[in-house]
Amino acid sequence: MESLAREEDRTQLVKRLEDEARKLRVTDIKMLEKAGSGHPGGTLSAADVIAALYLHKMRIRPEEPSWPDRDRFVLSKGHCIPIVYAALARVGFFPEDDLWTLRKFGSPLQGHPDRIRCPGIEAATGSLGQGLSMAVGMAFAGKLDAASWRVYCMVGDGESQAGQLWEAVMLGGKHGLSNLCAILDKNQVQQSDKVVNILDIDPVAAKWRDFSWHVIEIDGHDMSQVLDALDEAETVDGRATVIVSHTIKGKGVSWMELNPDWHGKAPNAEQAAIAIDELEGRISAEESQARYQRLQEGGS
Amino acid sequence: MATATREAFGDALVREGADPKHVVLDGDLMKSNFTYLFKEKYPDRFIEVGIAESNMVGVAAGLALSGKVAWASSFACFLAGRLETVRMSVGYNEANVRLAGTHAGIGIGDDGASQMALEDVAAMRALPNMSVVQPSDGVETERAVEYLAVHDGPVFLRLTRQKLDDVNPPDYRFEFGKVVQLRQGSDVCLMASGATVQEAVKAATTLEGEGISAAVVNVHTLKPLDVDGVVAAAEQGGGRVITVEDHNVVGGLGSAVAEALAQAGSSARLDILGCHDFGQSGSPEELYDAYGISAEHVAEAARVAVARS
């Protein structure tokens, strides 16, 4: 009975987080549409992991952003910060109304994360390849203080072409920083083309493994796998963990999926309406694509 | 006595290390920059990152964002070379990182151009939130490190490989952001920083023998610059200023002083002595002479300035 109850709790948790991830995606599309610019593809691919972290896994106090024992999250692929803003507002770091100021003059929600202006942001990023170094530094600090808090860092697959990232992988692996969990959002596409066509990073799991990291490979859109991986990372002794999260850039909006054109372009109001209809399940992927196609052809 | 400021830095860092908030990072140069002394005393708070300076700067930022004061040391040219990481991870984040760049300038001598940082001050000075400090001798280095241990914000500390004469008294007190008037003078004002302060002092002594009264001002804090102090010293020095630096003439001490004087509406006439080219191998003395920043060049520039008006 007890184990069955736990199973049910788990099922409910997965369902709740799936629902939260869907809401984050909808909020993200609304934010980008209002901002008139941004990066939908890499925000949508990251939504499930972000939902699992901010709405379940991380120990954080939205009312006390600098709580010393909080878990830290560094978004190394800083251009995808809107999905994190959506999560920060959802848990109460700032009012939801702030979301609609994204990328506007004077907003705490800068186009890329700014830790001084925005509560809940641990590190400014946006110059790709730097985030994991800072996360490694935070993990060292946690170890020096014998602290219980953990460090999470999401990196991109396009970003994995940057040399500094591998300097950090090498150092984090050597020191066995078990309080550090990297997540590679392997969404397969970067700005100009597919990653495999620009500069292939595979076999990337083997590379992390060679640098002594504990590697977990998952379908990053399967919430149950995401939760299992985050749980497993906490149990690994003497090694840092990387979750290679196989994802789809633009996940949830069929005509954005794996399409480099939606790396760095915001949807307009009509496109956003179609995207949200699809994300909220009011229309099928086929219908969404048909409506999008008609819109592009100048129809209604 | 003569001391290399890199060595005084290493000694001072060990003393500050008693406070557990201090962490030192090395990119395989600990014997060159004397951070091995810290490693011997506090091995748990010494992080060897290997020859990977970008990562060193980023890891230092992460430590600083978690409450540590992170001292990342390498040759100045390699730290300035990682400007992109310094800019974002340290500067924009307002991280409490101390970038200690040793082996600054042509004064390193034999190793030649590749190791001679001559653009580092210009680069670091242009970063918002970043302060730039360059001590002129051993005692000033020790006092500066003591101060930087409690300073809030990112700092670039520029240090020498070569030994420098003592120019400050043993009871010297370091005042961040203030120039030090080492010598009074009414005909011309010699402004220097780091290794060139001793050159300015020697030049002033030479000039005194020729009946020229030269003031010497030590600009240890290149940013934020003591604008009032610079303008006042220029006026007291007869409205003639010579700056001398072991750095490119673009963006360093001379530029900072020019910006200050011009914006203050000063009528002082400024001559900037510094490097115009990459460095090369040679002895420090040969190079200071060849690149026009030795005491004799400073004295000659002062004679010309005084004769001009």
Partner residue facing B55 (CB), from A74, A124, A164: A164
A34 bridge partner residues: none
User: Can you tell me the mean pLDDT for B258-276?
Assistant: 98
The arithmetic mean of pLDDT across residues B290-304, rounded, is 98
The per-residue pLDDT for A207 is 98
Q: In percent, how much of chain A has pLDDT > 90?
A: 96
Distance (Å) from the C-alpha of residue A8 to the closest C-alpha of chain B? 38
Contact assessment for residue A159 and residue B50, using Cβ atoms and an 8 Å cutoff? no
Burial B186-216 (b: 16+ CB within 10 A, else e): ebbbbbbbbbbbbbbbbbbebbeeeebbbbb
Say whether B55 and A171 touch across the interface (CB within 8 A): yes
pTM of the model: 0.97
pLDDT band, residue A299 (cuts 50/70/90): low
What pLDDT is stored for residue A8 in this prediction? 67
Residues from chain B contacting residue A240 (CB–CB below 8 Å): none
For an interface test with B, the pick among A118, A140, A151 (most B C-beta atoms closer than 10 Å) comes out as A140
Question: Using one digit for the tens of pLDDT, what is the confidence trace for A137-182?
Answer: 999 999 999 999 999 999 999 999 999 999 999 999 999 999 999 9
Amino acid at B71: W
Reference A42, options A70, A68, A80; nearest CA is A80
Under the banding of pLDDT at 50, 70 and 90, the label for residue A2 is: low
Q: How far apart are CA B275 and CA B293, in angstroms?
A: 8
Tell me the H-state helices in B66-211.
Answer: 76-80, 83-85, 120-125, 138-148, 196-209
Q: Give bridge partners of residue B165 from the DSSP assignment.
A: B2
Handedness of CA B116, B121, B123, B124 (dihedral sign): positive
Residue A65 phi/psi, 5-degree rounding, is: -60, -30
Tell if the CB–CB gap between B65 and A123 is shorter than 8 Å: yes
Contacts of B54 in chain A (CB under 8 A): 129-130, 133, 163-164, 167
- The span from the CA of B237 to the CA of B245, in Å, is 19
Structure tokens at A188: 């397969």
Does A300 have pLDDT greater than 90? no
Number of domains composing chain A: 1
Contact A171 B61 (CB under 8 A): no
Query: How much of chain B is helix, strand and coil, in % rounded to 5?
Result: 45, 20, 35
Q: pLDDT tens across B102-116, in order?
A: 999 999 999 999 999
3-class SS of residue B219: coil
Reported ipTM: the value is 0.96
Q: Answer for the pair B13, B149: CB distance below 8 angstroms, yes or no.
A: no
Whether A73 contacts A150, CB under 8 Å: no
Closest chain B residue by Cα to residue A171: B49
pLDDT at A1: 45
3-state SS record for A79-133? HHHHHHHHHHHHHCCCCHHHHHHCCCCCCCCCCCCCCCCCCCCCCCCCCCCCHHH
Cβ–Cβ gap A124/B63 under 8 Å? no
Tokens, residue A125: 């990023």
Q: If you average pLDDT over residues A46-69, what whole number do you get?
A: 98
Which residue in chain B has the smallest CA separation from A147? Answer: B66
Which chain A residues contact residue B67 at CB under 8 A? 68, 141, 145
- Region B295-306: mean pLDDT is 98
Tell me how far apart the alpha carbons of residues B218 and B216 are, in angstroms, rounded to a whole number: 7
Which domains are seen in chain B, by residue range?
Answer: 2-165 (3.40.50.970), 180-308 (3.40.50.920)
Percent of chain B past pLDDT 90, that is, above it, reads: 99
Flag whether residue B98 sits within 8 Å of chain A, measured between CB atoms. no
Mean pLDDT of chain A: 96
Cα–Cα distance measured from residue A187 to residue A165, given in angstroms and rounded to the nearest whole number? 17
Interface with chain A: mutation pick from B88, B90, B96, B129, highest number of A CBs within 10 Å:
B88
pLDDT band at residue A298 using 50, 70 and 90 as cut-offs: confident
CB B244 within 8 A of CB B198: no
State how far residue A226 is from chain B, nearest Cα, in angstroms: 26
Kindly list the catalytic residues of B: 53
- For residue A5, the model assigns a pLDDT of 62
First to last CA, chain B: 38
For the stretch B172-185, pLDDT in tens is 999 999 999 999 99
Instruction: Tell me how far apart the alpha carbons of residues A132 and A146 are, in angstroms, rounded to a whole number.
Output: 20
Q: Mean per-residue pLDDT for B20-41?
A: 98
CA-based nearest residue in chain B for residue A135 = B62
Q: Do B58 and A130 touch (CB under 8 A)?
A: yes
> Span A259-267, mean pLDDT?
95
In CATH, what number is assigned to the domain containing residue A272?
3.40.50.970
Reduce the DSSP state of residue A222 to 3 states and report it: coil
Nearest CA distance, B153 vs chain A (angstrom): 13
Question: Is residue B227's pLDDT more than 50?
Answer: yes
B47-82 pLDDT tens trace:
999 999 999 999 999 999 999 999 999 999 999 999
pLDDT confidence bin for A4, thresholds 50/70/90 = low
A68 contact residues in B (CB cutoff 8 A): 67
Verify whether the Cβ–Cβ distance A139 to B23 is below 8 Å: no
Task: State which residues form the domain around A249.
Answer: 2-296
Stretch B116-125: mean pLDDT:
98
Structure tokens at A99: 């979301």
Residues of chain A in contact with residue B74, where contact means CB-CB under 8 angstroms, are none
Closest partner residue to B63 among A68, A132, A141, by Cβ?
Answer: A141
- B85 contacts on A by Cβ (under 8 Å): 127, 130, 133, 164
